[in-house]
Amino acid sequence: MTIGSISKENLKARMLEIFREVEESGQELIVTDHSKPVLKIVPIKKKATVDEIFGHYYGQVIYHEDINTPTIDEWDAVKMVVLDTVARLNRILEWHHRDPADRVIVATATRLDCPLVSSDRVIGEFYAATIW
């Protein structure tokens, strides 16, 4: 969220005051030069802890087998899903992101209709079921 805008001249005169206001409010400030936006002052957000991100999932995960059990038998099925997903990717997704790994990850999550845990903003903006 943006708290507004300020000209370069006004920013120079009140910089410390403005910086404190941005830091306290947590909102962005646009700096203008002759009424055109040229800079954005953004406060640094505290990184969320693992507990803050996943805390509401504690006690809700159900394990149907030992999580350390090898999954060798399942790899052929996983490979087939990924290959099938990649083959359909350009037809299914209207996403022009060029990172092939991101495309495979998103396509696989789309194909399996499951949430995706990622802090990648590009993925989060495209794939609505992104957690983080």
> Mind listing the pLDDT tens digit for each residue in 75-95?
555 555 555 655 666 556 666
| Token couple for 3 | 């708290």
pLDDT reading at 71 higher than 70:
no
User: Is the pLDDT confidence value at 128 over 80?
Assistant: yes
pLDDT digits (tens, 9 = 90+) for 94-120: 667 777 788 778 877 877 788 888 888
Q: What is the pTM of this model?
A: 0.38
The predicted pLDDT at position 39 comes to 92
Report strand pairing: 28-33 vs 36-41: antiparallel
Residue 94 makes CB contacts below 8 A (sequence gap 6+) with none
H helices of 26-71, where?
A: 50-54
Q: Mean pLDDT of all residues in the chain?
A: 79
Say if residue 27's pLDDT is above 70. yes
- Mapped onto helix, strand or coil, the DSSP state of residue 132 is coil
Give the per-residue pLDDT at 122: 83
Say whether pLDDT at 5 is over 80.
Answer: yes
Which domains can be identified in the chain, with CATH numbers? 2-41 (3.40.1620), 50-131 (no CATH)
The pLDDT > 70 percentage for the chain reads: 78
Please report the pLDDT score of residue 45 as a whole number. Answer: 81
pLDDT reported for residue 73: 60
